[in-house]
Amino acid sequence: MKIVSVILARSGSKGIPNKNIIDINGKPLISYVIEASLKSQSQETWVSTNCKKIKKVALSYGAQVLDRPDIISGDLSKSEEALIHFSDNIDFDILVFIQPTSPLLVSSDLDTGIDLLINKSNTLDSVFSVYKEHWTPKWDNKLRPINWDKKNRPMRQERDYEYVENGAFYITKKENFIKTKLRYSGNIGIVEMPNYRSFQVDSEDDLKLIRKIL
Domain containing residue 81: CATH number: 3.90.550.10
The whole-chain average pLDDT of the chain stands at: 94
**Predicted local confidence at residue 97, as pLDDT:** 98
**pTM score of the predicted model:** 0.92
pLDDT for 50-93, tens place per residue? Answer: 999 999 999 999 999 999 999 999 888 999 999 999 999 999 99
pLDDT at 191 over 90: yes
**Predicted local confidence at residue 11, as pLDDT:** 86
pLDDT at 21 over 80: yes
How many domains does the structure of the chain reveal? 1
**Predicted local confidence at residue 214, as pLDDT:** 86
pLDDT at 184 over 80: yes
Q: Catalogue the active-site residues.
A: 153
**Predicted local confidence at residue 15, as pLDDT:** 76
Mapping DSSP onto H, E and C, the string for the chain reads CCEEEEEECCCCCCCCCCHHHCEECCEEHHHHHHHHHHCCCCCEEEEEECCHHHHHHHHHCCCEEEECCHHHCCCCCCHHHHHHHHHHHCCCCEEEEECCCCCCCCHHHHHHHHHHHHHCCCCCCEEEEEEEECCCCCECCCCCECCCCHHHCCCHHHCCCEEEEEEEEEEEEHHHHHHHCCCCCCCEEEEECCHHHCCCCCCHHHHHHHHHHC
Residue range of the domain that includes 92: 3-213
pLDDT at 174 over 90: yes
